[in-house]
Structure 1
Amino acid sequence: MHTNKSDWYTSWFDTPYYHILYKDRNYKEARLFMDNLTSYLNLPDNAKVLDLACGKGRHSIYLNQLGYDVTGADLSENSIKQASEFANEKLHFMVHDMREPFPEKYDAIFNLFTSFGYFDEDKDNMATLKSICKSLKDDGFAVIDFMNVPHVIKNLVPHDVKTVEGIDFHIKRYVEDNHIIKEIDFEEGGRHYHFTEKVEALTLDNFEQLMDEAGIYLLDVFGDYRLHKFKKNESERLIMIFK
């Protein structure tokens, strides 16, 4: 059995299986979100954008196609290696821990698709928020796109099986110690694999408290990728614009 209890995100995100399981994610919707977001933020044509926790860089690549100077950063060396194949003069990729500030400053920093709340300690969430703000230009904006916890918990499917590329992923979901946990089991090549995803169940109230402590100004909150108004129990997403 292949398992790793420490830093689940390091081991899971670096495997090819993570990308196989999530290969059908809706990128049309993601592109619509990028279009709406960049238009709402009214970014200058040549804006420097940081895609924080960029994975294999699909959204960085699209933002670059929209004309922005984009840096994609992620902790996964494998993901950055693959993303770097698409690099150009205005599209760069780097391995970076989101808790650490960046050497450059950006017009916009995007942390998309629930790429926050992975750490075991609250101080790491605070460090991430502070590093985002330190890496923004004075007139820059940051965006965290997180799951809307009440909606997710209300609609949690305790168990299902997803078959992708001939692999049966057995997925178990539950809430424990204020975390939403997903356990993923599958067989491949005669081996049994077990991975865990664990994301802190942070609500808007939690984020407001964190931002307040960090001296961050929360400008706006949206509830979906079309930037509709946020509704506490109904919205699918929790999209926060801050500086």
Structure 2
Amino acid sequence: MIADKSTWFSSWFDTPYYHILYKDRNDTEAHAFMETLTNYLNIPENGTILDLACGRGRHARYLNKIGYDVTGVDLSESSIAFAKKFENHRLKFEVHNMSEPYHKKFDAVFNLFTSFGYFDDDADNLKTIKAIKANLNEFGFGVIDFMNSEFVIDSLVPEEVKTVDDITFNLKRYVEAGYIIKDIKFTIEGNLYHYQERVRAFTLNDFEDLFKKADVHLLDVFGDYNLRKFSSKTSERLVMIFK
């Protein structure tokens, strides 16, 4: 089964295999980042947060746990169906396209864990920045937590074999036409599955250009989840705060 490349994120993210491959993600690190980030932004007690491209809601659920009113949105219907099991009166999940404004304003809009740059059409990336701006209230902050593309490309592991839950994933990584691409192949019961992740290799300069076009103001740039200074050569992350 080969996924349609033009909509890789809507097909791959909706499979159980995506969640199996990435089941070892570090929740402790993610939780610490949420606390560090919300403290830095000084989001008010009971403040409202939109988690944009929330997946199964791991960040959203923790943000709710530490006191915030959180809405998580994602294009993946299966991820939202899973996340909805955790809803309460201050935690809601909904299927939504992040390139379109949501029908509410928030104290903060978070786009986390490299959940940006999926679109083939650059116009949709710009529309997403504009949508984030539209969803911020007067005192709100937007946050995009992206990979540091330069660091990722310099340290790219071309081939890797990873076995999780008795599934052997064959991974190939490469750069092509401005995208960082990961080919994912595995066999289950004699059936070969082939998916692909494609993320635009946006740099800080690229984001600055998008922010300028969207008329938003970049306030801070950090290079990791402890909010240390960004270095294009050595930082693993590119965390941008804007409004």
Could you tell me which amino acid in structure 2 is paired with residue 212 of structure 1? K
Secondary structure at 1:107 match in 2: strand
Instruction: Give the match for residue 89 of structure 2.
Output: 89
What is the Cα deviation at residue 4 of structure 1? 2.4
Could you tell me which amino acid in structure 2 is paired with residue 181 of structure 1? I
Secondary structure at 2:97 match in 1: coil
Secondary structure at 1:194 match in 2: strand
2:71 matches 1:66: no
Could you tell me which amino acid in structure 1 is paired with residue 11 of structure 2? S
Question: Which residues of structure 1 form unaligned runs of 5+?
Answer: none
2:20 matches 1:3: no
Instruction: Give the match for residue 170 of structure 1.
Output: 170
Runs of 4+ in 1 over 6 A off after TM superposition: none
Residue by residue, what CA displacement relative to the aligned partner does 1:75-132 show, whole Å, maximum 9, x if unpaired?
0000000000000000000000001101110000000000000000111010000000
Instruction: Give the match for residue 200 of structure 1.
Output: 200
**Hey, what's the Cα distance between the residues in 2 that align with 1:240 and 1:218?**
7
**Hey, what's the Cα distance between the residues in 2 that align with 1:3 and 1:124?**
21
Q: Residues 1-243 of structure 1: matches in 2 within 5 Å? A: 1-243=1-243
**Hey, what's the Cα distance between the residues in 2 that align with 1:70 and 1:12?**
25
When normalised by structure 2's length, the TM-score is: 0.99
Secondary structure at 1:7 match in 2: helix
Could you tell me which amino acid in structure 1 is paired with residue 197 of structure 2? E
When normalised by structure 1's length, the TM-score is: 0.99
What is the Cα deviation at residue 2 of structure 1? 4.0
**Hey, what's the Cα distance between the residues in 1 that align with 2:53 and 2:24?**
19
What is the Cα deviation at residue 213 of structure 1? 1.2
Could you tell me which amino acid in structure 2 is paired with residue 116 of structure 1? F
Residue by residue, what CA displacement relative to the aligned partner does 1:17-55 show, whole Å, maximum 9, x if unpaired?
000000001111111110100000000001000000000
- Structure 1 range deviating more: 19-28 or 2-11: 2-11
What is the Cα deviation at residue 3 of structure 1? 3.0
Please report the RMSD computed on the Cα atoms of aligned residues, expressed in angstroms. Answer: 0.7
**Hey, what's the Cα distance between the residues in 2 that align with 1:215 and 1:2?**
39
Secondary structure at 1:102 match in 2: coil
Q: Is the 8 A contact 2:3 2:12 kept in 1?
A: no
Could you tell me which amino acid in structure 2 is paired with residue 166 of structure 1? D
How many residues are matched?
Answer: 243
What is the Cα deviation at residue 222 of structure 1? 0.3
Question: Which residues of structure 2 form unaligned runs of 5+?
Answer: none
Secondary structure at 2:5 match in 1: coil
Secondary structure at 1:70 match in 2: strand
**Hey, what's the Cα distance between the residues in 2 that align with 1:146 and 1:229?**
15
Secondary structure at 2:224 match in 1: coil
**Hey, what's the Cα distance between the residues in 1 that align with 2:2 and 2:189?**
12
What is the Cα deviation at residue 5 of structure 1? 2.6
**Hey, what's the Cα distance between the residues in 1 that align with 2:26 and 2:174?**
24
**Hey, what's the Cα distance between the residues in 2 that align with 1:36 and 1:81?**
29
**Hey, what's the Cα distance between the residues in 2 that align with 1:38 and 1:155?**
30
What is the Cα deviation at residue 214 of structure 1? 1.0
